[in-house]
Structures are given as structure tokens and as C-alpha cells.
Structure 1
């Protein structure tokens, strides 16, 4: 969705440079970020990967009131102000034990995994069709206490292919809230480990809290 904005802007920037070299091209940034709304459902604040809240200058309305969205965003930034061009909501699963429930771990590919001050982010590549609907979750496997008394919360990504044929590949993003985990574990001491079933086998990513 975001690329429809990126490509024309890049092309127009090249064209402008040929005509008038001193015309600067807007410094667009594409990041996972939090978007917060006010009581009227208007987006007021964008908090990007550096966790510094920024005021949204343009009007983005008709959203859910008093809500924080996790989203893949496209914006320009000047100090602590942003102009929000586009955004697409991102799934933030809440870790659960799923006791007594049957869950699936269908294979996918991991493009990237990284941590921010408040999130662990995953960029995943899934196979399916344009109309296919997949289901995701985060299962709590166990909490391991090490010899030095540090603890690791071990999670496993749930992916239900929902019988969607493996025709095409597409990327998607998923974020895990560290603020919620810090209510159970100690920041600066403990860690979280996410296990993912891929086409090449099981892989794990561990991040400090």
C-alpha cells in the first residue's frame, strides 16, 4: 500500500532535479510507529522507532477515538512534528498460554527481526493467495530462570495458514509490545525469546527487555 506513494515521489524528484537542481526532495521516512487519536477520532501524535512523540500536523480523521494504533507509516519529520502521508495497521498479538486450544505453526519466512525501545518487530514473508486470510498469535511456552537468576520468557509465533494455497509471497509486519511484558519481567535484566517455524526449520530470536 505504501509503495504507491514512494514510487511517484521518487520519479518526480528525479525529474525535478533535471530541471532545477536546487529543489530539495522531501525526506520521506517509512517506519513502524504508534499513532494516537483524541476524543474526536483525529490522529494527534505519532511515536516513531526512537520513541519520541511527534505532533501530527495534517488532519487524519475518522479513526477510533482515544486509541493507539500500531502501523506501518510514511511521513516527513521536522524536529518533533510530522506530516503523515499514509499508514497501514500492524498486528500486535497479546501473548497467551492458549491452554486447551489447538494452535498451528504453519511455515513462513523471516525477513527481519529487530527491537525498539517499546517493541520487538518482525517482518515476515508468507505464502498464499490475494484473498487468503491467515491467523496469527503469540503462545507463551515457558519462563526459564538461569543460574544468574535472569529470566527468559519463551514465546512461539502462531501461524494458521487456514488452508490458503502457497501460490504467492507477500511481506507483512507484526509487533510485540515490550511494555506489556515488562509488567511480568524486569527490564534491564530479563529477556524475551520468540521461536518461529520457517520453511528451513525452527529459528529463535532473543531480545533484552
Structure 2
């Protein structure tokens, strides 16, 4: 069994691993790819294949596991760092991506954060976010970031198209803000019937709204 190692920071309702250092030479990481994937865990809780957001199925050779893969015969959302072969992936690292299912939230909190990237998957199934949350050491075990996707509703535009509007919920919740930590989130779009999607996020520079078309099947 191949076991991948990563550094993990636990938040309430999320667990994220990050890798910010890359080998730029001709070593084992020089041709490394990084992609959002849905990963299948077999009966031994090993990832035996993944499906990329472009719809490509890759067998992981050899299969691997991490500490946060806890359920057999299930799927996990994550970023896979790997070297690619013929329909195969030689995994280097697999970092968890927290899935935030849209819901209506009564009492919103929008503590600021930094947005690094925001995009809709090629297959239209997820709205993806790469953000930096401010973190720091504390003895308070209750101090944990709380994040969610608030569903504002669906609007019919003047041209007859429909847009789903989302808002990013973020509660700093007593976590010290000493340095930033990169974290990734995916918001499922498959159950949202619309032509486009937008999400508003409060940043340190003010509220920013990102809007994207969705595939024709939504």
C-alpha cells in the first residue's frame, strides 16, 4: 500500500492540506500535474482511480491512501498531484478539497479573506475556490474557521436566462490572524438549475462577485 503524506490543519466543517513548494528541476516532480478530481476509494480504503474535471478516468498505479480517507467504496473530492502515464496516474500527493453544498443560512457572517482563484469545472459540476484564510496558534480549542455556501436564490434575467446567486459564509470564529493558509473548496452545481452562477465573497479589499456560465445541461 502506498501512503501519501501531507500537512493538515483542521477547521470546523473542513480539513485542508496544502503544498506550496515545487521542484523546478528535472527531478521526480519536474513534470508533475495538479488537477481537481473525484477519487474512488476501494474496499481497502485505497484510491484506485480518479476522474478529472475534464472527464478523463485515470487508474492510480499503485493505489494509495491518506489519513483522511476513512470510508471504503466511496468517493472523495481533492487535488491530485501526479505524474501522468498512459491512462494512469502515479500519485505524488492528494490534498483534500472541502465540498460546500449550497444552503440557506439565516445569520450570515462574512469575515474577510483573500481569493486566489475562482472557476467552474470544465464539466460544469463544481464551482471551485482557492482562498487564503488567516490563521495562527491558539490554546482555544473552540477557535475554528466556519465556512459554508449560502444560497441567495435564483434570478430570471432580462434575456430570459436564469442565474443562481451564492454568497460565501465565513466566520473567523476566534482564530488568530497571524499568517495565511491556502485552502480549496468546491461547491456542487449539479442540482442547481440555471444558465449561470455567481458568488459574492467579502475580501480584505471589499466584496467581490464572480460570475460564470454553466453547461447547457443545468
Taking structure 2 as the reference length, what is the TM-score of the superposition? 0.78
* Structure possessing the higher relative contact order (Cα contacts under 8 Å, 6 or more residues apart): 2
Q: 1:150 and 1:76 mapped to 2: Cα distance?
A: 41
Assess, with a 3 A threshold, how the Cα gap between structure 1 residues 67 and 25 changes in structure 2: closer, same or farther.
Answer: closer
Report the Cα offset of residue 143 of structure 1. Answer: 0.9
> Post-superposition, which runs of at least 4 consecutive aligned residues in structure 1 deviate over 4 A?
none
Match 2:101 to one of 94, 102, 105 = 94
Identify the residue that residue 46 of structure 2 maps to in structure 1. Answer: 42
Identify the residue that residue 155 of structure 1 maps to in structure 2. Answer: 166
Give unpaired runs (5+ residues) of structure 2. 1-5, 7-17
Report the Cα offset of residue 172 of structure 1. Answer: 1.0
Contact 2:200 2:209 survives alignment (8 Å): yes
Give unpaired runs (5+ residues) of structure 1. 14-23
RMSD: 2.2
More strand by share: 2
Determine which structure has more spread, i.e. the larger CA radius of gyration: 1
Q: Does 1:168 align with 2:175?
A: no
Report the Cα offset of residue 42 of structure 1. Answer: 2.1
Q: Secondary structure at the match of 2:110?
A: coil
Q: Secondary structure at the match of 2:191?
A: helix
Identify the residue that residue 74 of structure 1 maps to in structure 2. Answer: 81
Identify the residue that residue 121 of structure 1 maps to in structure 2. Answer: 128
Report the Cα offset of residue 168 of structure 1. Answer: 0.8
Q: Secondary structure at the match of 2:22?
A: helix
Q: When the two structures are aligned, how many residues end up with a matched partner?
A: 189
Q: Secondary structure at the match of 1:149?
A: coil
| Deviation string, structure 1 residues 91-144 (Cα, Å, up to 9, x no partner) | 11000012xx42311000111111212222111011121565211100011211
More helix by share: 1
Q: Does 1:109 align with 2:125?
A: no
Q: 1:25 and 1:106 mapped to 2: Cα distance?
A: 36
Contact 2:80 2:94 survives alignment (8 Å): yes
Taking structure 1 as the reference length, what is the TM-score of the superposition? 0.81
Report the Cα offset of residue 5 of structure 1. Answer: 7.5
